[in-house]
Structure 1
Amino acid sequence: MTDTPEPGEIDLDTITFSQSVIAVNDRPRATTDPVTRDLCRREADILLRSYREPGCFPEAVRRLAMRHLLVLVGAEETGKRLGAIALLSRMSLAESTITVLSPAATVLELLSATDYGPGQAYVLHDWTAAGAERIELVNLARKLAELGSYLVITRNGGPSQAVEVEQPWCVPDPGELFDLCLSTYGPRAGAGTEQLAAARNQALTLPTPAAVVRLATRLVRDGEPAR
């Protein structure tokens, strides 16, 4: 990911997702005995192959590049998880890895107890920590900027006072997402024009990208999922 890829691409050969392990009845730790999982380039490409950037995406890219930390906030199932990966794929990084941090990590653990490497990418999905102070998040952003590293956090709910590092997330156009899923994977044999048109009209009424993708999945050829 040393060069900025085109939208929908991911410029790496392998992404490693390092998911922190938290012991039962133990104090949550941001990085402890990580369980690594290698995501090959083909798998990573598939993840973003049917990704439709929402309207807020260009601004999010700009703000992440400038701040090095971005907290995506919004309702559940609005595409924040895949959006975080897509955003990190647009950054210039020293190594082609993404490390997944524990969602139970507090902002102080992220600031003081996490060993960030220079030029690295980090993601934290569904952050559960509450009461993060604005100044702590700003300080975390400064630390990441000094290292040339990037962290994208996703959190359900509304914006907080940390406006410098938060990005309200929006959903892509459901019709465009539905069309992209079908054009990428192709409708299964026997899916007629009327059936596809009816399904697209239904997609326009669905509340989340996840629901649109689930609808498109049922129309994909040979049962291959539209991811």
Structure 2
Amino acid sequence: MTDTPGPGEIDLDYITPINDRLRAMAPPVTRELTRREADTLLRSYLEPPCFPDAVRRLAERHLLVLVGQEETGKRLGALALLSRMSLAEGTVTVLPPGRSAAELLSRTEYAPGRAYLLYDWIIASTDRTELINLARKLAELGSYLVVTRNGAPSQAVEVEQAWGAPDPGELFDLCLSTYDLRAGLAPEVLAGARDRALTLTTPAQVVRLAAGLAPIEQPAGSTRPQPVLAELRGRPRP
């Protein structure tokens, strides 16, 4: 067993976190995440306790900023929230993290009935007026935007949602069930792995631990996950 990424399991947090300096140097490219890619990433998703309230608030406001500690599943949570909305288009547009609130409000083009995601917000704004105006603009278009940022909630309480990780034991069990990883494993191995999962601090670590139980050699036609490094990145827009 290992909690390090294999050559390709799906990772709840998609990528190893990078610091703000490196992220700021990344090209400001808008990307598209297809419905098929989103469904693959959400296959083993477990909703945290705050999820139902977040669904309700996003449906009402059309904008939600998920706020919390690093590696608590905010990115995948944002994608899961958008998948609950009624949208005309099947793709999710991933916006560059370096846009300010003013740029999101006045310099970003939003199409009607679309889903938008901005994760790891660099230029995070706690300006309540700007964010509420952005929510109103999105509501008029029937579109939705979910943003993730690290830190604590601000005064912009109308559009912010405190985020937390799901239960690690329940997430571990879901991964075993989703990817049919119980077959062929001794009960004591599964019990030991689950005990270890309870000590892990992030959803990504739990998923990596469960994926590490899969045998290296898989029979033809197996439905167990093949190595695919899933990142929350789509193809650059033309």
Give the TM-score range, shorter chain: 0.7 to 0.9
Alignment correspondent of 2:81: 87
Structure 2 Cα separation of the partners of residues 176 and 158 of structure 1: 26
Give 5+ residue unaligned stretches, structure 1. 1-25
Q: Structure 1 142/193 Cα, relative in aligned 2: closer, same or farther at 3 Å? A: same
Q: TM-score, normalised by structure 2?
A: 0.76
Q: How do 1:43-54 and structure 2 match up within 5 A? A: 43-54=37-48
Structure 2 Cα separation of the partners of residues 185 and 55 of structure 1: 23
Structure 2 Cα separation of the partners of residues 110 and 120 of structure 1: 15
Q: Are 1:171 and 2:165 an aligned pair?
A: yes
Alignment correspondent of 1:39: 34
Structure 2 Cα separation of the partners of residues 81 and 45 of structure 1: 14
Give 5+ residue unaligned stretches, structure 2. 1-23, 218-224, 231-238
Identical columns (%): 67
Per-residue CA distance 1:114-139 (angstroms, 9 max, x = gap): 01111111000100114441111011
Asked whether the 8 Å contact 1:73–1:158 carries over to 2, the reply is yes
Which amino acid is the alignment partner of residue 154 of structure 2? S
Which amino acid is the alignment partner of residue 119 of structure 1? G
Cα RMSD (Å) of the superposition? 2.4
Alignment correspondent of 2:105: 111
Residue 152 of structure 1 aligns to a residue whose secondary structure is: strand
Q: Are 1:160 and 2:154 an aligned pair?
A: yes
Alignment correspondent of 2:70: 76
Alignment correspondent of 1:4: none
Structure 2 Cα separation of the partners of residues 176 and 27 of structure 1: 37
Structure 1 Cα separation of the partners of residues 198 and 133 of structure 2: 41
Q: Cα offset for 1:171?
A: 0.9
Which amino acid is the alignment partner of residue 157 of structure 1? G
Alignment correspondent of 1:203: 197
Residue correspondences, number: 198
Structure 2 Cα separation of the partners of residues 186 and 82 of structure 1: 21
Q: How do 1:113-152 and structure 2 match up within 5 A? A: 113-152=107-146
Q: Cα offset for 1:169?
A: 0.6
Alignment correspondent of 1:212: 206
Alignment correspondent of 2:9: none
Q: Cα offset for 1:211?
A: 1.1
Structure 1 Cα separation of the partners of residues 92 and 35 of structure 2: 12
Q: Are 1:58 and 2:13 an aligned pair?
A: no
Structure 2 Cα separation of the partners of residues 203 and 164 of structure 1: 35
Higher RCO, 1 vs 2 (CA within 8 Å, ≥6 residues apart): 2
Q: How do 1:183-198 and structure 2 match up within 5 A? A: 183-187=177-181, 190-198=184-192
Q: TM-score, normalised by structure 1?
A: 0.80
Per-residue CA distance 1:99-118 (angstroms, 9 max, x = gap): 11110000000000001111
Q: Cα offset for 1:37?
A: 4.9
Which amino acid is the alignment partner of residue 203 of structure 1? A
Residue 164 of structure 1 aligns to a residue whose secondary structure is: helix
Asked whether the 8 Å contact 2:35–2:90 carries over to 1, the reply is no
Residue 34 of structure 2 aligns to a residue whose secondary structure is: strand
Structure 1 Cα separation of the partners of residues 201 and 171 of structure 2: 13
Q: Cα offset for 1:94?
A: 1.6
> Which of residues 86, 96, 108 is equivalent to 2:90?
96
Q: Cα offset for 1:190?
A: 4.7
Residue 49 of structure 1 aligns to a residue whose secondary structure is: coil
Q: Structure 1 107/81 Cα, relative in aligned 2: closer, same or farther at 3 Å? A: same
Q: Cα offset for 1:205?
A: 1.3
Larger deviation, residues 187-196 vs 112-121: 187-196
Q: Cα offset for 1:188?
A: 7.0
